[in-house]
Structures are given as structure tokens and as C-alpha cells.
Amino acid sequence: MAQEVPQDLDWVQLRREMGAVADVESSGDKFIRKFQANPFVPIGCLGTAGALSYGLWCFKTGRSKMSQRMMRLRIFAQGFTITALVAGVVMTAGKTMH
């Protein structure tokens, strides 16, 4: 019994055989759906990036005290983001179990 050797692009042929998929979600639609499901994750990411950027700018300009505050705020924002991610996973798992 000879086994068929898979080709590198078998998924292309499979997609052609399956035909067009009617409900393809765009990146923007997916972002909006995910943001509505858990808005705290992107807010936390923006807060982290903002605190990091401003903290680095303060460090560059010699404002070390403000730079330290921003780095502490960055740590808080990262913790907030991780907490939001875990809460979102727990909530999603709870919805699928019911």
C-alpha cells in the first residue's frame, strides 16, 4: 500500500475544491468584534505603549523622576492587560460550557 506524499501547497487545491467561503471576516470587523467582547485589552495595550513611550522620552530629556513614574505606570498597565486577557479567557470558557 503506497502512501501519498503530501505536496507543499495542498491547502491551495483544497481551497479550490471547497469553493468560495461566503462569510469571510475582514481584519477591521474582527478587531471591532474582539474589542466589543473585551475592550480592556486594547485599552491596556495603549496604556502600556503610552507609558513606555513617554517614559523613554523623559529618560532621554533627563527627567529621571518622571521616567521612573512612567515605568511604574507601564508595569501597572501591563498587569491590567494580563488581568483583562485572563478574565476574557475565563468568561469565554464559561460561555462555551453552558
Q: What pLDDT shows up at residue 97?
A: 72
Model confidence band, residue 7 (pLDDT cutoffs 50, 70, 90): low
CB 48 within 8 A of CB 78: yes
Over residues 28-57, the pLDDT tens digits come to 888 898 888 888 999 999 999 999 999 999
Does the structure show a pLDDT above 70 at 59? yes
Q: What pLDDT shows up at residue 6?
A: 59
**pTM, two decimal places:** 0.67
